[in-house]
Copies of this chain bind each other. A is one copy, B any other.
Amino acid sequence: MTSLFVATFTALAGLGQSQTYQRLGTCPSLGCIFPPDQADFLAGQYFGIRLEVHAPRNGSEAIDRAPDEDFTFTLAKSGASPQSAEDFFSIKSPEIETWNFTWFEDLFARDADTPSLVQVASKAYRRLHINEPGEYTASLSYYNGSTTESTWTVRDIAQVRKAKNVILFIGDGMTTNMITAARLIAHKSINGKYQSLMQMDKFPILGHQMTHSIDTFITDSANSATALYTGHKSTVNALGVYADSSPNKFDDPKVETIAEIFHRVTGGHVGIVSTAYIADATPAALTAHTRDRGQYGAVIDSYLHGITNYTWTNWTGPDVLFGGGAENFFNSSLGGVSYMDKDYYAEFSNAGYQLVYNNTQLQGASNDEKALGIFSISNMAKWLDRNVYPDNLQGLENDPTGSGGDAIDQPGLKEMTLKAIDILNARSEDKGWLIMSEAASIDKMMHALDYDRALGELLELDDTIKATIAKLESLDSLKETLILVTADHGHGFDVAGSVDTKYLRAQDDQREKRDAIGTYQNSGMSQYVLTGNLSYSDGTYFPHNWGPRYTLYQGVIANPDRREDWRVRKDGPREPAVNATPAEDDYIVNPKDGKGGIIVNGTLPVNNAEGVHSLTDVPVFAMGPCQELFGGVYSAIDIFFGMAECLGLSQVNGEGEGDGNHHHWGGYSGNGWKHGPA
């Protein structure tokens, strides 16, 4: 009967790739290789391999047998003979693992509660690396004749370090459309000519990166960060791993991140800064390896200890870790939810970190010691609330110590980033540094349809970039630092005109309210900036009036039910929809939001409380050594390869066993990067 099985599931191969639900992303056939077909690697980059053989026992792919445990797996460099993985990597064969999982083939199956059962036989290989550039064929044979092949490419990148430092700014969810809107409300224009520009606008190199996931065309921030940091696209919710089907959320095959490689190979220093809770996906993906971004406690532990459940990169912690999310640091006695209920403030302190909890302490911190700065419970305050509506910081009981007080004295992205540079610059000496600085709440406020706050966060990011350039110049480090500004995905945002908010409120009829919208010749000019001759002598660019009569007619393409009055939310971040039937998650217009505005039903499933990510390519702005690598249109993974190339991290001739003191890769000679391009 074996041949019949083969014929059956060969014919069905591909059915497992439904749209709404998938049996397992990147595995349309019944034999799965992770990393899958089309994976790219940096020479020497650590990674794991997961092999799975699937036996669907019911549903459209059903076969009448258990999963094949006698599958074989080989690797072959292009032109060479296949070798077993054991021979190829000189490792022992791992044990067979087995498990079951279920999935729904589509929404009808979900409604009928008829899941499909899949039995799995699997092996996993841990911490491998390939140092020779070229094409490799990974081949999984199973069910007596079926084969899944994956072509892998180890990119041929020269081992020449061109930058001492890299700072990667991520505007989470930031699109070109948002930059355009932010420019409009913060920069003065006379007769169609801007009198000042965004700092991003002045970058010499512009690129676009494609953000889609490996197995879906819309990404979340976990797997997009994984792509940016590892050169490997992954699955929604996955951090630094390819998502397998096993029940264990920590056994998925890992890929080494730019932070880990940089630290391991060069001994370079790492800084992590975010305005989100610091266990959030974008910072987490630098050191965490799990397919579940919700494992916040483990994420915090990984910052300090790296990966401990399997052999992995030796990691001794970042020099700087600044952000929110205090609840993942203190234990349950203070209301926290820390890993194993430990006191992570104490853990970091014991590891030599100075601890800072507010901006005053941050400014006073030593530049010579590692620093952990946690400034609030949950996400940090938004620029608009800190600077324009500070009363909104009161009463939140979000003090990072868990005292129950309010976190009033919070730094912004600029203050955190400049301090991070000071510390990294002082501590790294000739090793150089890598900083990731995230404007997280561009995304969070776009989710909430709070366009004004999102644009405020974007302008704060731009102000941070401007201050960073000045800081690097003052440290004489600008020419040896690659500065990248990009995003991890978009939101479908744009502006289509203006709103006469006075007229809107004066109309009673919903249809007549729509007449308040001015498009084309009636859109006018921005009233958020001063129109007189007053100069922006302080050199910072934010709106001078967040509540003009004529506001931006702005929105997103997909949202829950909402009421729009296109006025700034002075009482704090917007909550467009509320749950009418919590048992069912049925979100309707928040009766307290946008009073006097126009009610618009959404098209998102009614269990959505807020907006969602979008497809659009996002911009990349590059300045400094290697800037030329970042022009044009490319995949998100190319950001990783560009940074790795610029830092000289390709280990073509080494053994991938660097410990921070090895410099067995070519092109580096102490201060070699000091002679890079201007």
Please report A residues at the B interface, Cβ cutoff 8 Å. 14, 17-22, 25-26, 28, 36-40, 106-108, 175-177, 179-181, 183-184, 189-194, 197-198, 200-208, 210, 212-220, 227, 233, 235-237, 490-498, 500, 503, 506, 510-511, 514-527, 531-532, 549-550, 553-558, 564, 586, 598, 600-606, 608, 612-617, 619, 631-633, 635
Q: Are B521 and A18 in contact (CB under 8 A)?
A: no
Chain B residues whose C-beta falls within 8 Å of the C-beta of A493 in the assembled complex: 492, 494, 557
Known pairs A192-B233, A515-B605; A22 contacts B524 (CB<8 A): yes
Chain B residues whose C-beta falls within 8 Å of the C-beta of A205 in the assembled complex: 631-632
In the A-B complex, the 8 residue pairs with the closest CB atoms: A492-B494, A19-B524, A19-B550, A192-B233, A192-B214, A496-B558, A236-B521, A495-B615
Q: Are A613 and B520 in contact (CB under 8 A)?
A: yes
**Chain B: minimal CB distance from A509 (Å):** 10
**In the bound complex, what is the Cα–Cα distance between A333 and B476 (angstroms)?**
77
Q: Looking across the interface, which residue of chain B has its beta carbon closest to that of A39?
A: B191
Chain B residues whose C-beta falls within 8 Å of the C-beta of A518 in the assembled complex: 19-20
Q: Looking across the interface, which residue of chain B has its beta carbon closest to that of A518?
A: B20
Q: Are B204 and A192 in contact (CB under 8 A)?
A: no
Would you mind naming 19 contact pairs between A and B with Cβ atoms under 8 Å apart?
A17-B524, A19-B498, A176-B208, A177-B177, A177-B614, A194-B210, A197-B633, A215-B524, A216-B520, A218-B519, A494-B557, A495-B557, A511-B586, A511-B606, A514-B606, A517-B603, A519-B604, A519-B605, A556-B557
Chain B residues whose C-beta falls within 8 Å of the C-beta of A523 in the assembled complex: 19, 216-218
Q: Could you list 5 further interchain pairs (A-B, Cβ under 8 angstroms) beyond the known A216-B520, A517-B558?
A: A20-B518, A40-B193, A217-B523, A218-B519, A519-B613
Chain B residues whose C-beta falls within 8 Å of the C-beta of A203 in the assembled complex: 632-633
**In the bound complex, what is the Cα–Cα distance between A26 and B190 (angstroms)?**
8
**Chain B: minimal CB distance from A112 (Å):** 12
Chain B residues whose C-beta falls within 8 Å of the C-beta of A21 in the assembled complex: 522
Chain B residues whose C-beta falls within 8 Å of the C-beta of A510 in the assembled complex: 601
The 8 Å CB contact of A177, one of B14, B180, B215, B616, is B616
Chain B residues whose C-beta falls within 8 Å of the C-beta of A39 in the assembled complex: 191
**Chain B: minimal CB distance from A401 (Å):** 35
Q: Looking across the interface, which residue of chain B has its beta carbon closest to that of A213?
A: B192
**Chain B: minimal CB distance from A360 (Å):** 37
Q: Which of A202, A518, A549, A586 has the most CB of B within 10 A?
A: A518
**Chain B: minimal CB distance from A616 (Å):** 4
Chain B residues whose C-beta falls within 8 Å of the C-beta of A19 in the assembled complex: 498, 500, 518, 522-525, 527, 549-550
**Chain B: minimal CB distance from A467 (Å):** 20
Chain B residues whose C-beta falls within 8 Å of the C-beta of A181 in the assembled complex: 615
The 8 Å CB contact of A206, one of B208, B237, B500, is B208
The 8 Å CB contact of A503, one of B106, B200, B515, B526, is B106
Q: Looking across the interface, which residue of chain B has its beta carbon closest to that of A13?
A: B532
Q: Are A520 and B612 in contact (CB under 8 A)?
A: yes
Q: Are B550 and A20 in contact (CB under 8 A)?
A: yes
**In the bound complex, what is the Cα–Cα distance between A605 and B206 (angstroms)?**
37
Known pairs A496-B558, A503-B106, A558-B555; A218 contacts B525 (CB<8 A): no
**In the bound complex, what is the Cα–Cα distance between A26 and B600 (angstroms)?**
35
Known pairs A106-B500, A190-B37, A496-B613; A184 contacts B519 (CB<8 A): no
Q: Which of A202, A493, A521, A531 has the most CB of B within 10 A?
A: A521
Known pairs A18-B524, A519-B218, A557-B496; A207 contacts B206 (CB<8 A): yes
